[in-house]
Copies of this chain bind each other. A is one copy, B any other.
Amino acid sequence: MARTQGSHSDITGPRIQAAALELFARHGYAAVSMRQIAAQVGVQAGALYNYIPDKQTLLFRLMRDHMETLLDTRRMQAGAGDPEARLRDFVRFHIRFHLERPDAVFIAYMELRNLTPENFARIEELRGDYERDLQDILRDGSAAGVFSVPDTKLATLGVIAMLNGVNTWYRSGGRLSLDEVEAVYWSMVRKAVAA
In the complex the two chains form, is B28's CB within 8 Å of A113's CB?
Answer: yes
In the complex the two chains form, is B113's CB within 8 Å of A150's CB?
Answer: no
Give the residues from 7 to 32 in chain A that come closer than 8 angstroms, CB to CB, to chain B: 26-31
A105 to nearest B CB, angstroms?
Answer: 13
Does residue A45 face the partner (Cβ distance < 8 Å to B)? no
Report how far A98 CA is from B160 CA in the complex, Å: 19
- A158 interface neighbour in B27, B29, B165, Cβ under 8 Å: B165
Q: Which residues of B contact A29 (CB under 8 A)?
A: 28, 30
CB contact under 8 A between A27 and B113, given known A161-B161, A165-B158: yes
Q: Smallest CB-CB separation from A160: which chain B residue?
A: B165
Does residue A87 face the partner (Cβ distance < 8 Å to B)? no
- A185 interface neighbour in B27, B158, B194, Cβ under 8 Å: B158
Q: Which residues of B contact A193 (CB under 8 A)?
A: 188, 191
**Taking the full assembly, how many copies of this chain does it contain?**
2
Q: Smallest CB-CB separation from A186: which chain B residue?
A: B150
CB contact under 8 A between A157 and B165, given known A30-B28, A189-B192, A194-B191: yes
A73 to nearest B CB, angstroms?
Answer: 23
Main secondary structure of the interface of A (DSSP, over half): helix
In the complex the two chains form, is A184's CB within 8 Å of B28's CB?
Answer: no
A88 to nearest B CB, angstroms?
Answer: 15
Report how far A184 CA is from B113 CA in the complex, Å: 28
- Scoring A27, A29, A188, A191 by chain B CB atoms within 10 A of each residue's CB, the highest score goes to A188
Residues of A participating in the B interface, judged by any CB pair closer than 8 Å:
26-31, 110, 113-114, 149-151, 154-155, 157-162, 164-165, 168-169, 176, 181, 183-185, 187-189, 191-194
11 additional A-B pairs beyond A29-B30, A151-B176, A191-B193, beta carbons within 8 Å, are A28-B113, A28-B114, A31-B114, A150-B187, A150-B188, A154-B176, A155-B188, A158-B185, A161-B162, A188-B192, A191-B192
